Structures are given as C-alpha cells and as structure tokens.
Amino acid sequence: MHRLSPALLLFALLVAAPASATTMVELSQDELTYIADLVVEAEVEVVEAEREAGQNWIKSIATLKITRVLKGEAIEGDRALVREWGGRIDADETILEGAPVYTAGERVLVFLERENRPDAMWRTLGMTQGKFTLIEEVDTGRDVILKRVARSGLEFVEASVPLPAARRYSDAVIDAVIERVSMDYVPPYSRIPGVPQWKDDQFHTDALAAGQELDPRWEAARAEMISFQDGGGR
C-alpha cells in the first residue's frame, strides 16, 4: 500500500463525498404493480439535487410529467416529484449503488410509492426494480423498455441509446399492468421487508378476500413483527 502524492489532492477533493449501496428483495412484476401507489408513464422534466438541513448526503428530486396513468390517483399532465438517493452539488457527490437515476428528457415507466415522512414525495418502488426507461423504436414507433442505460450529462438523448436486437416492448408490460389493475389482482401474499404496516394489512386482507390459502405461519409472523414494532424495538 502506498500513500498518494499531494499532487492528487484535487482528485481527493472531487470525490470527498458519500457513497452508498443496498441489498434488496427481488419483486415480481405483479408485486410491483400491487404494492405501487402510482404506476405511470412519464417524461422527466428536470432533476435537482438537494441536501437536507443538517445532513451530509445528497438526494435528487426528479419532476416527472405524467403522460399516462396505469394505476393511482393522478391524471395525465400531473407532475410527480420523485426523490432518490444520489446527486451532485458542486464538487460533492453522493452515489447510491442500486438506486434509480433519472435524467431530464428521459421517458420512463415507473412504479412509485410514497415516502414515509411528513413532507412525503414519491420514491421508486424497489429501487431500480421499479423504473424502466422507454426508448422509441424508430421504424415502428413502439417503445422498447430498457433497465440499464448508459447516460452522461444532464440531458437524456433518446436517439443516442442503442437498442439490443432482441427487445422487450413496453406495451406488453403495460397491458399486463392494466389487466392486473382492472381485475384487482392480488399476488401471492408475503411480508415484504420495508412495506409499511398499513399497506401490509391491506395486502393480507386482499389476499384472504381473493381466496388465497395463506401459510398459517404468516399469522404468527405478522403478529410478532407488529408486537416488535409497537414496542419500538428492544
């Protein structure tokens, strides 16, 4: 191991910032659809970084102009503010491994949930799992969905994104979401980490109402979790 020469102090200053990362439970498309409070197609109008008072990390707030509502209480033309980990203010940068990144000009299909805080904005459900980038296939006008898109700069240039030969089209995903929402489909119940209790209660109730035969161990598991949370932890 070697110390670096002072000549690279500039590098150090540029990267002297927080970085973070996560572990997640994988969500199915049906779980994303059911748990999300809002599922929309949208265009990212602007992305602004913020550093909350007294905090060191940076988050980014993306303003999404909704172009189509698949689930939730919104109408076309509404704006949704989506707050995510990561962003840059001057030389300070917070990077979150696994967090979705929004770029102005990008078109997206997103599954959103409400933050659990007084000034709640939207948050992408399941981190990157709840965000798909839409790229128009020039020859047909159909939208292809991509999960991982290389991006640089502050503006998203859709025409510059290369498409793979084998493509997944958004209409298949959107049709599936619309079908599930219209039939009030309830995916097989499980206690998903981090889902707030009121939403888990709803999930549990809906699952029973849908005739699901739940593993009897869920009753004890849910009761134990509620008891723990009510006690504020030990």
- Which residues within the stretch 36-75 sit at the binding site for another protein (CB under 8 A)? 54-57
Is 110:39 a contact under the CB 8 Å cutoff? yes
What's the rounded Cα separation, in Å, for the pair 115 and 123? 6
Residue 94's DSSP bridge partners are 87
Q: Which two tokens stand for residue 37?
A: 């409070």
User: Which positions ≥6 away from 177 have C-beta within 8 Å?
Assistant: 29, 33, 39, 70, 71
Is 130 strand, coil or helix? helix
Residues in 4-43 at the binding interface with another protein, rule: CB under 8 A: 4, 8-9, 11-27, 35
Instruction: Give the residue, chosen from 75, 90, 141, 213, that forms a contact with another protein under the rule CB under 8 A.
Output: 141
For another protein, which stretch binds (CB under 8 A), given 70-78, 158-166, 179-187, 206-214? 158-166
Is residue 229 near another protein by the rule CB under 8 A? Answer: yes
Name which position in 47, 74, 125, 177 contacts another protein (CB under 8 A). Answer: 125
Min dist. Cβ of residue 59 to another protein (A): 10
Where in 189-228 is the site for another protein (CB under 8 A)? Answer: 190-197, 200, 215, 217-218, 221, 224-225, 228
Q: Which residue has the tokens 């991006």?
A: 151
Nearer to another protein, 24 or 209 (CB): 24
Maximum separation of any 2 CA atoms in the chain, in Å = 68
Select the residue interacting with another protein from 96, 110, 173, 174 (CB under 8 A): 96
Query: Is residue 153 near another protein by the rule CB under 8 A?
Result: no
In the numeric block, the tokens 């965000």 are attached to: 131
CB 134 within 8 A of CB 145: yes
159 binds another protein (CB under 8 A): no
